[in-house]
Amino acid sequence: MKDIAKLTVIEIINLLKSGETSSESLVNGYKKIYEEKNTDINAYLEFFTDAIESAKLADKKRAELLTSGKSANEIYVEFPLLGVPIAIKDNIVVEGKVASASSKILENYKAPYNATVVEKLLNAGALFLGRLNMDEFAMGGSTENSAYGVTKNPHDLERVSGGSSGGSAAVVSMGGAPVSLGSDTGGSIRQPAAYCGVVGLKPTYGSVSRHGLMAMGSSLDVIGPLAHTVEDVEYIFNIIKNQDGDRYDSTSLKHEDEVKNISRHTFNPEKIRIGIVPELMNQGGIDKSVIETLNKTIELLRTAGCEVKEISLPHVKYSLAVYYILMPAEVSSNMARFDGVKFGSKVEGDDLLGDYLNTRGELLGKEVRRRIMLGTYVLSSGYHDAYYNKANITKDLISSDFEKAFENVDVVLTPTTPTPSFKIGSHSDDPVQMYLEDIFTVTANLTGSPAISIPAGSTKSDTGTDLSIGLQFTAPHSREDILFAVGKKVQQLRAL
Point out the catalytic residue in the list 23, 188, 209, 449: 188
User: Does residue 15 form part of some domain?
Assistant: yes
Point out the catalytic residue in the list 54, 146, 164, 209: 164
Does the active-site annotation cover 188?
A: yes
User: Does residue 57 form part of some domain?
Assistant: yes
**Predicted local confidence at residue 32, as pLDDT:** 98
The CATH number assigned to the domain holding 87 equals 3.90.1300.10
User: Does residue 41 form part of some domain?
Assistant: yes
The pLDDT tens digits for 380-430 are 988 888 899 999 999 999 999 999 999 999 999 999 999 999 999 998 878
User: Does residue 482 form part of some domain?
Assistant: no
Tell me the three state secondary structure of residue 181. Answer: strand
The pLDDT tens digits for 38-89 are 999 999 999 999 999 999 999 999 999 999 999 999 999 999 999 999 999 9
Range 179-198 average pLDDT: 98
Which DSSP category does 176 fall into? Answer: S
**Predicted local confidence at residue 342, as pLDDT:** 82
User: Does residue 383 form part of some domain?
Assistant: no
- Per the prediction, the chain carries an average pLDDT of 96
**Predicted local confidence at residue 340, as pLDDT:** 84
Contact 208, 224 (CB under 8 A): yes
Point out the catalytic residue in the list 31, 89, 202, 489: 89
The pLDDT tens digits for 202-259 are 999 999 999 999 999 999 999 999 999 999 999 999 999 998 999 999 999 999 999 9
Nearest to 475 by CA among 414, 393, 419: 414
Please give the single-letter amino acid code of residue 161: S
Tell me the three state secondary structure of residue 299. Answer: helix
Chain-centre distance for alpha carbon 361? 28
**Predicted local confidence at residue 285, as pLDDT:** 87
Backbone angles phi, psi at 402, to 5 degrees: -65, -40
pLDDT at 22 over 80: yes
Range 470-493 average pLDDT: 98
Contact 103, 343 (CB under 8 A): no
> What's this model's pTM, rounded to 2 decimal places?
0.97
Range 324-343 average pLDDT: 92
Which residues are registered as beta bridge partners of 202?
Answer: 451
Helix and strand numbers (H, E) in the chain are 18, 13
User: Does residue 294 form part of some domain?
Assistant: no
Range 85-96 average pLDDT: 98
User: Does residue 143 form part of some domain?
Assistant: yes
Euclidean distance between CA atoms 374 and 74, whole angstroms: 53
Backbone angles phi, psi at 152, to 5 degrees: -90, 155
User: Does residue 363 form part of some domain?
Assistant: no
For residue 104, the enclosing domain spans: 4-259
**Predicted local confidence at residue 381, as pLDDT:** 85
Positive or negative CA dihedral for 292, 297, 303, 307? Answer: negative
Range 309-321 average pLDDT: 96
Range 474-487 average pLDDT: 98
**Predicted local confidence at residue 385, as pLDDT:** 87
* Reported confidence tier of residue 431, pLDDT bands at 50, 70, 90: confident
The pLDDT tens digits for 118-139 are 999 999 999 999 999 999 999 9
Domain count, the chain: 1
Strands (E), 326-370: none
pLDDT at 175 over 80: yes
Euclidean distance between CA atoms 235 and 215, whole angstroms: 25
